[in-house]
Structure 1
């Protein structure tokens, strides 16, 4: 690299060989990333034979977006050749880049959702999608359901329910999916007369054991019903319905009987409903399909219809 008699080179020569400005070399030197070998009698910086390779490494790390503090840590770790600093830095930068890309994809879809709407609807749609962060945060949805679930429900059961009830936003969304999530967000964060969501009848006396038994049984029943729904089957008696009824019977510590089933059908039909939540969830997870992917809400409706048919109770008008 060097051509001087002492094996050192000046800042101008180093900058020229590295293809950077003198100002850049001075910046890295002043921050301790590129140590000087000495100073000339006139006070000019002089650099050793390894400075060019080190400067090129600094440039490569900075080109990947690593901050100066991280670059220093990598350089200190044996010039980035061994140890875990370089691997950790690259992995962290990849994760950050992925997050930024996800945010940009969501933002692009949100802008398209506004652009593609009729002019008269654009102001309202802008406010709707603009209230959601990029990428979106599902914490408000989880808080909504935590307020809805039995207060004494075990944490493990709560987390299992949230995994099924809180839809994850797609990484590369379509405008319709952005709208669906924005409407979900508005639904769970908007003001409501009663504060927390109205509780279903099954929650009113459920303790920790009863709620755990109930929701574990319902989860299994919903999964079985989803299989039938994907096949296009109409609500009917079978393994899914048996598990559904059994979950309520065991949670209430009562025996299953025709009378219990009739009473259960009437009670569930009268419970408050959150149908709009499940409609939007279906739009979010399976847009543009004739048969949306089942959700816990639609599986519950399928099972309730099967119970009403079996017990001979008239289907109630669905509320909510």
Structure 2
């Protein structure tokens, strides 16, 4: 391949064949990625025939932004399964995805500031400045943990948080960034109302609350299907499951008297409607149809229960 009588080439010829600078070849050689075949009496590097292909591979891997350590592992891989390369590429894709997510959030936040009236910019800057990038849902989880009954089973807590805490979209619009920032502010501000009487779920105790929330999750899913069809609240399977969840948690039967009592208890529960309004804005893509949330499903079911008990009275 090389013109010399011994089949070797100098650093300049190798650099020319590979289309890189001598400095680049020296850099990879000094880091052990590109071994030299020998050196001349004067100390000049000489490279063998495989050096060109190896150098081209190094360049390709570095073009993919793989770190030097990963490149070395790939070059040193003895088997030909390609597992080291696959793992390195997968890791790089994950890292790139995280960086892109950060950039998309920053872009949407910049557009949010750019598009808002001048008088609102200071407030919006304050809101988005309090949120990490990428945004963390930890404050929202802490907010709900303060409302859940103490000593509730960890699995039940995790299932509840999965339903109640929205995941920030990977590619948000400005409105979604603003909604998440407001949601963050809502859940982190001092809230004296949290010292008020707790929701009806707390009366069931930790174990009862776990049973209750599991039943409510099924009822909310059924109610969500009705909300997607723009159905008005009405008694049916969703409401029956809703009431059965409370009856099971309290260890009582589903009777007309229990339904009237439950309607009164739920009407007196602390309200966090603003939380669910903001959740809807966070999870709804620009121009998309609002998706049901546990909050909107609960309101639909409570309205159905109120209508049924009023009609029975």
TM over 0.5: yes
Residue 129 of structure 1 aligns with which residue?
128
Deviation at 1:258, TM superposition (A): 2.1
Residue 303 of structure 2 aligns with which residue?
305
Distance 1:29 1:219, change over 3 A: same
CA contact (8 A) 2:172 2:285 kept: no
Residue 184 of structure 1 aligns with which residue?
183
Give the 3-state SS of the residue equivalent to 2:60 in structure 1. helix
The one-character-per-residue Cα deviations of 1:42-63 (angstroms, maximum 9, x if unpaired) are 0111111111111111000000
Give the 3-state SS of the residue equivalent to 1:206 in structure 2. helix
Give the TM-score, by structure 2 length: 0.93
- C-alpha separation between the residues in 2 aligned to 1:296 and 1:105? 28
Distance 1:290 1:312, change over 3 A: farther
CA contact (8 A) 2:153 2:206 kept: no
Residue 156 of structure 1 aligns with which residue?
155
Give the TM-score, by structure 1 length: 0.91
Find out whether 1:167 has 2:166 as its counterpart: yes
Deviation at 1:71, TM superposition (A): 0.4
Structure 1 residue ranges, 4+ long, deviating more than 4 angstroms after superposition: 194-198, 287-291
Deviation at 1:31, TM superposition (A): 0.7
Distance 1:204 1:20, change over 3 A: same
Deviation at 1:271, TM superposition (A): 0.9
Distance 1:239 1:31, change over 3 A: same
Distance 1:198 1:112, change over 3 A: farther
CA contact (8 A) 2:173 2:286 kept: no
Q: Root-mean-square deviation (CA), in Å?
A: 2.0
CA contact (8 A) 2:109 2:174 kept: yes
CA contact (8 A) 2:37 2:48 kept: yes
Residue 276 of structure 2 aligns with which residue?
278
Find out whether 1:266 has 2:264 as its counterpart: yes
- C-alpha separation between the residues in 1 aligned to 2:278 and 2:14? 60
Q: Which moved more, 1:4-13 or 1:129-138?
A: 129-138
- C-alpha separation between the residues in 2 aligned to 1:83 and 1:57? 14
- C-alpha separation between the residues in 1 aligned to 2:94 and 2:287? 32
What is the total number of aligned residue pairs between the two structures? 311
CA contact (8 A) 1:39 1:46 kept: yes
Residue 143 of structure 2 aligns with which residue?
144
CA contact (8 A) 2:37 2:47 kept: yes
Structure 2 unmatched ranges of 5 or more: none
Deviation at 1:253, TM superposition (A): 0.7
